[in-house]
């Protein structure tokens, strides 16, 4: 690895402390707090993020999960409905559907992008399908042309989950602005972060108004706020929940957004370095972007292995071996949603589960072959690694070749691990 440490994450941007100090001294630490005669930190961030996205509307939230919840609620998804979600993604994409008392319908992925397969989405549509959630996963963008066409053909709105894709573009336009709504997470591990936070962007003013009310207990912004009183007023048309982003998080995000373009540029440069190092190496293939991706971001650098080149072992075993050799934090991707340890719908009595088709709730009976295969064959590297000096990756090809040569010992390690995990 050389004589340097891997970059720490999160890292505060240049003006983060200044912005925090301004909020701490402002007399307003939350959006419902007393208006001080000037825009809140939340409103300033919303305007700047909307401008960055090229979207007319941005509604910040407490986190990415709440962003997904209000996006579904704003699109009138509820009890008895179905929402199509990818089988390979974080658990929140299913739990948020359950949170609005709809059924998550898990579909298989496109092996080229690791995102939801348009053909699988089309097959999963029923008369109860009320929304399609696509996730731009790791460093990929889903096939938006095909998926949006499916949604339009069936009259079903598409929600883009861009929690891995802050700044990515499709045909020159930011992802998140193509569907009915685009949701973002600003959790600690994300490309743009304040520890926690989220946002929804959209094109439609009426939808933005509904989103605003849904995240602020049903309240709207007062047309003529009075200094010393709350800027939010109970002039509402929908019941909401308190998902307002704090002023402190908004202040941090306002600074972090300044640093994002340069960080994304640096990550893309280093991703190209790794691509070049791996291009002649047998048994490993970087996951490529579709040609319509005009700006690619890297939440996780992803590479697919030929398991035969590694003695048939899984990506989990290979990732541990490569981490031991290089110090780089390799990981296998998420397990399929229906096997995710955090997906436990029946532990929540508030969900309306009676009468639902178990095959829909628990995932397809036959599983999702490409999702299962990706969990066994894909290695990922978290994005802070791509902010390291480019020489951090020089030893990677040699390490991969060494791990391949030692395939027999990897098989023994994996076999022993399976045996120790088997109940007596």
220, 230 Cβ separation under 8 angstroms: no
**Which of the four CATH numbers 3.40.640.10, 3.40.50.970, 3.30.2350.10, 3.30.450.20 does domain 16-259 have?**
3.40.640.10
pLDDT of the residue at 110: 97
- What does pLDDT average to over the chain? 93
pTM: 0.94
190 has catalytic annotation? yes
What pLDDT band is residue 417 in, cutting at 50, 70 and 90?
low
What pLDDT band is residue 54 in, cutting at 50, 70 and 90?
very high
363, 89 Cβ separation under 8 angstroms: no
Instruction: Please state, in angstroms and as integers, the Cα–Cα distance from residue 153 to each residue in 115, 150, 371, following that order.
Output: 20, 5, 26
Point out the catalytic residue in the list 190, 276, 348, 402.
190
Host H or E run for residue 82 = strand 82-86
Question: How does pLDDT run across 75-120, given as a tens digit for each residue?
Answer: 999 998 999 999 999 999 999 999 999 999 999 999 999 999 999 9
pLDDT at 333 over 70: yes
For tokens 């027999």, what's the residue?
A: 408
Over the range 364-378, which residues count as b (16 or more CB within 10 Å of their CB) and which as e?
beeebebbbebbbbb
Tell me the C-alpha distance between 357 and 124, whole Å.
Answer: 14
Question: How does pLDDT run across 175-229, given as a tens digit for each residue?
Answer: 999 999 999 999 999 999 999 999 999 999 999 999 999 999 999 999 999 999 9
pLDDT at 403 over 70: yes
pLDDT of the residue at 62: 98
Tell me which architecture the domain covering 261-334+371-421 has in CATH: Alpha-Beta Complex (3.90)
pLDDT at 424 over 50: no
Tell me the C-alpha distance between 309 and 259, whole Å.
Answer: 40
Question: How does pLDDT run across 338-384, given as a tens digit for each residue?
Answer: 999 999 988 888 887 776 766 678 888 889 999 999 999 999 999 99
Question: How does pLDDT run across 228-259, given as a tens digit for each residue?
Answer: 999 999 988 999 999 999 999 999 999 999 99
Instruction: Please state, in angstroms and as integers, the Cα–Cα distance from residue 109 to each residue in 135, 314, 337, following that order.
Output: 10, 19, 12
pLDDT at 336 over 90: yes
pLDDT at 4 over 80: no
pLDDT at 321 over 90: yes
What pLDDT band is residue 411 in, cutting at 50, 70 and 90?
confident
List the chain domain ranges. 16-259, 261-334+371-421
Tell me the C-alpha distance between 70 and 56, whole Å.
Answer: 18
């Amino acid at each position: 690895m050389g004589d340097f440490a891997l970059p720490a994450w999160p890292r505060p941007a240049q003006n983060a402390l200044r912005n925090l100090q301004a909020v701490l001294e402002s007399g307003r630490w939350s959006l419902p707090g007393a208006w001080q005669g000037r825009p809140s930190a939340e409103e300033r961030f919303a305007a700047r993020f909307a401008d960055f996205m090229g979207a007319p509307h941005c509604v910040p939230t407490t986190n990415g999960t709440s962003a997904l919840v209000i996006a579904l609620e704003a699109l009138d998804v509820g009890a008895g409905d179905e929402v199509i979600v990818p089988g390979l993604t974080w658990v929140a994409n299913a739990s948020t559907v359950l949170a609005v008392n709809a059924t998550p319908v898990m579909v298989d992925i496109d092996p080229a992008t690791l995102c939801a397969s348009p053909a699988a989405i089309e097959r999963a549509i029923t008369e109860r399908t009320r929304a399609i959630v696509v996730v731009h996963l790791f460093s990929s963008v889903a096939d938006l042309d095909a998926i949006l066409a499916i949604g339009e053909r069936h009259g079903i709105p598409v929600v883009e989950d861009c929690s891995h894709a802050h700044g990515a573009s499709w045909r020159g336009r930011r992802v998140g602005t193509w569907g009915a709504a685009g949701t973002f997470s600003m959790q600690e591990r994300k490309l743009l972060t304040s520890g926690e936070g989220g946002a929804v962007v959209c094109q439609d003013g009426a939808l933005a108004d509904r989103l605003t009310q849904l995240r602020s207990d049903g309240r709207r912004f007062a047309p003529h706020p009075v200094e010393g009183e709350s800027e939010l007023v109970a002039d509402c048309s929908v019941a909401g929940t308190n998902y307002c982003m704090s002023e402190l998080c908004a202040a941090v995000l306002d600074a972090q957004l300044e640093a994002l373009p340069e960080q994304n540029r640096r990550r893309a440069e280093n991703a190209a370095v790794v691509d070049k190092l791996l291009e002649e190496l047998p048994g490993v293939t970087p996951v490529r972007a579709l040609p319509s991706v005009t700006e690619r971001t890297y939440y996780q650098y992803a590479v697919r292995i030929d398991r035969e080149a590694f003695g048939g072992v899984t990506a989990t075993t290979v990732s541990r071996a490569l981490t031991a050799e290089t110090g780089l934090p390799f990981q296998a991707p998420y397990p399929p949603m229906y096997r995710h340890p955090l997906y436990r719908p029946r532990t929540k009595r508030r969900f309306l589960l009676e009468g639902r088709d178990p095959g829909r709730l628990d995932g397809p009976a036959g599983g999702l072959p490409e999702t299962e295969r990706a969990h066994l064959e894909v290695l990922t590297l978290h994005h802070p690694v791509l902010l390291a000096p480019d020489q951090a990756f020089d030893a990677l090809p040699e390490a991969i070749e060494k791990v391949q040569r030692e395939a027999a010992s990897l098989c023994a390690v994996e076999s022993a691990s399976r045996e120790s995990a088997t109940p007596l």
